[in-house]
Structure 1
Amino acid sequence: MTNPVLTIVVPCYNEEEVLPETVFQLSGVLDSLIEEQLISSSSTMLLVDDGSKDATWPLIEQFHSVNPFVTGLKLARNAGHQRALLAGLMKARSYADCVVSIDADLQDDVDAIREFVVRYREGYDIVYGIRQSRSTDTWFKRATAQGFYKLMTRMGVNIHYNHADFRLMSKRTLDELDKFQEVNLFLRGMVPLLGFRSTKVYYDRKERFAGESKYPLKKMLAFAFDGITSFSVTPIRFVTAMGFVLSALSIVAGIYAIIGKLLGSTVTGWTSLVLSVWLIGGVQLLALGLIGEYVGKIYKEVKRRPLYIIEKEAISDSTQLAQSHHQHLTKSAPSSGS
């Protein structure tokens, strides 16, 4: 087996504080893997600047000029973590045999990448990085994260417990992922749908090396809700079931009121009336909001706007040569039917 070309894709948003250490550690990983002859010497890292407002892109250009491992993409605007990650994956698949995605904050263990590559060489197309535990999280974050994974599983979404976006994917899995034309991206749910041979590597998650988290509680909740509504219609079915239950209760209440009227034991109760109005009104607004969320997703899908726009690239000549050579081989390869 020839040594595969590995690309490490790193989405970056306002990461000027941690980026020098990220490049240093990932360069060490690539150096070590090349020395062990586990990967090709043409392997690189691809830093994707997701419309940062700080010096992230100038730093990427600076590292690119002095470090042969470093390549970069700059998106024209802040497209969001999932789209920036997808931009890097789609770019890397044109010249890499396998791609590892990892966040720039160094919370994921970079040493686990070696095990990813070993598993890839054993024949696995997808290798998931799984956290051993959440001992470093606060009680609130641990409880909400575990609740999210359990909720997604109960709703029928195939998602790996304690897995974020730290994974290895082979070129053929990325080629298939490119066929997913979804605007509402939730890669943690999309990748398992590919169905290729996969395995897991467990690691201990670290504290953020520097800078601030780009996922405060508000963004985390929005991300979780987006994942749920992108992969399951269970919330809509729940609203339907709740409508049936309330309808049944209203029929029972109506029968009770008629019987009370006939028996002459009716009692005027403003409290129960007001509570009923507020309850039904609240449920209706909840249902409309949930339906509106799904309609909004359909609206985004049908517009077919590009997921991201690449403004600049910092790609070495050797990488571009490998890319053009790879594309030439792909075009000249005989079809399976010939």
Structure 2
Amino acid sequence: MGDILYIVVPCYNEEEVLPETARRLKEKMEHLIAAGRISEESRVLFVNDGSRDKTWSMIEGLHRADRRFSGVNLTRNRGHQNALLAGLMTAKDRADMVISMDADLQDDIDAVDAMVEQYYAGCDIVYGVRSSREKDTFFKRFTAEGFYRVMNFLGAETVFNHADYRLMSKRALEGLAQFKEVNLFLRGIVPMIGYTTGTVEYERGERFAGESKYPLKKMLSFAMEGITSLSTKPIRYITVLGFLVFVVSILMLIYSIVRWANGETVIGWASVICSVWAIGGLILLALGVIGEYIGKIYLETKERPRFLIKEVLDQHEGD
């Protein structure tokens, strides 16, 4: 008999896709159990992130009909990363390995087999990585790949073309539990854990139903959250920029003195105005970036809970 696997699926207003997601995940579970790769005690754990539709009542119905389905109901909407963490921490004490994935069926469920194989080969963390973005529009491909490159350039180390589709062993989850950040960016935190890692490439499909929870505006906010939560490089870059502007100003001062000594009048109110606006813009930019970090410090010092669980549905033999 294999180890216990939990598949954690955060859900926010997923009533349109949930029945199909449950059906496919159940088929995958039964296949792996029949092959002896995972235990009969393995579960699919849906996490309801304060959905406003029938998502939680559907999860309750799935649990009543089949104990293979478990559920976690948060007290209110806490966002994808917090909901995912709630599921991971709930599964940590129940499973030997946990796979996280989204409910929209864009992640290839068949990649689960390869992840489990790498787990048995000694990997504590296995990343699901997109093999290509040929199906994406040029704009989507450009912005998505730019997202990863900018994140890495600014110090938030992530796995290229990896979202939140990954396998983690129990000890990797125990390592994750030691990270106490209130501002969560799991794509950057998980690589910090260490241990042996592996990757599985898969072809990402179209969303089965419903609307994307990550439009461009939210992706930009998500990127800012990740950068300011994991790296101080933006502040360092501002320091370097400030130093360069200072050097340029000294050079301009020397140039002006030399021209004045030669009896040449410097007429250039336009350049002065441009300089004032440029310096003013840099100052506001610097204050904004520093403000982001101060805001993060403010939230961290409060030590508010990252999530609160209202109810857990998880039935096992003998319960």
> Is the 2:67–2:316 contact (alpha carbons within 8 Å) kept by the matching residues of 1?
no
Alignment correspondent of 2:53: 54
Distance in structure 1 (CA, Å) of the matches to 2:135 and 2:83: 27
Larger mean Cα displacement after TM superposition, 62-71 or 263-272: 263-272
Q: What do residues 62-100 of structure 1 show as CA deviations (whole Å, max 9, x unaligned)? A: 111102211111111111101100000000011111000
- Supply the distance in 2 between the matched residues of 1:140 and 1:231 (Cα, whole angstroms): 27
The alpha-carbon deviation at position 317 of structure 1 amounts to 4.6
Residues 215-251 of structure 1, C-alpha deviation per residue, up to 9 Å, x if partnerless? Answer: 0111101111111122221111110011011101111
Give the residue type in structure 2 aligned to 1:111: D
Given residue 189 of structure 1, which amino acid in structure 2 is its aligned partner? G
1:219 maps to: 218
Shift of residue 301, structure 1, vs aligned partner: 0.8
Per-residue Cα deviation, 1:114-136 (whole angstroms, up to 9, x for no partner): 11111111221111111100112
Letter in 2 for 1:174: L
Task: For residue 157 of structure 1, report the CA deviation from its aligned partner.
Answer: 3.7
Distance 1:317 1:4, change over 3 A: closer
Distance 1:136 1:184 in 2: 32
Within 5 Å, give how 1:1-338 maps onto structure 2: 2-318=1-317
Looking at structure 1, the residues matched to 13 and 180 of structure 2 have their Cα atoms a distance apart, in angstroms, of 28
Gaps spanning 5+ residues in structure 1: where? Answer: 322-338
Distance 1:17 1:51 in 2: 16
Q: Which amino acid aligns with 2:277?
A: W
CA RMSD of aligned residues (A): 1.3
- Letter of the 1:302 partner, please give it: T
Separation in 2, partners of 1:29, 1:153 = 34
* % identical aligned pairs: 55
Equivalent AA in structure 2 for residue 66 of structure 1 = A
Aligned equivalents of 1:97, 1:199: Cα separation in 2: 17
The residue identity in structure 2 corresponding to 1:45 is V
- If the length of structure 1 is used for normalisation, what is the TM-score? 0.92
Report the CA distance between 1:163 and its aligned residue. 0.6
The residue identity in structure 1 corresponding to 2:220 is: L
Task: Write the distance in 1 (CA, Å) between the matches of 2:273 and 2:225.
Answer: 34
CA distance in 2, matches of 1:283, 1:316: 57
- Residue 210 of structure 1 aligns with an amino acid whose one-letter code is A
Q: Distance in 1 between matches of 2:167 and 2:98?
A: 5
Q: Cα deviation per residue 1:139-197 (whole Å; 9 max; x = unaligned)?
A: 11211221222223334443211111101101111011101111111111111111111
In the alignment, the residues of structure 1 paired with residue 169 and residue 159 of structure 2 have an alpha-carbon distance, to the nearest angstrom, of: 18
CA distance in 2, matches of 1:97, 1:257: 71
**CA distance, structure 1, for counterparts of residue 122 and residue 224 of structure 2:** 35
State the SS of the aligned residue for 1:74: strand
Q: Write out per-residue CA displacement over residues 298-318 of structure 1, whole angstroms, 9 at most, x where no aligned residue.
A: 111111000001112222254
- Partner Cα separation in structure 2 for residue 178 and residue 301 of structure 1: 16
Q: Which residue of 2 aligns with 1:335?
A: none
Letter in 2 for 1:250: S
- In structure 2, distance between residues paired with 1:156 and 1:288: 20
1:95 counterpart SS class: coil
2-structure distance, mates of 1:138, 1:51: 32
Greater mean alpha carbon deviation, residues 88-97 or residues 223-232: 223-232
Unaligned runs of 5+ in 2: none
Q: Give the Cα–Cα distance (whole angstroms) in 2 for the partners of residues 54 and 263 of structure 1.
A: 77
Matched pairs, number: 319
- CA shift digits 1:48-69 (9 cap, x unpaired): 0111111111111111110221
Q: Which moved more, 1:95-104 or 1:308-317?
A: 308-317
Q: Distance in 2 between matches of 1:252 and 1:242?
A: 15
Runs of 4+ in 1 over 4 A off after TM superposition: none
Shift of 1:260: 2.4
Structure 2: which amino acid aligns with 1:310?
Answer: I
Scaled by the length of structure 2, what TM-score is found?
0.97
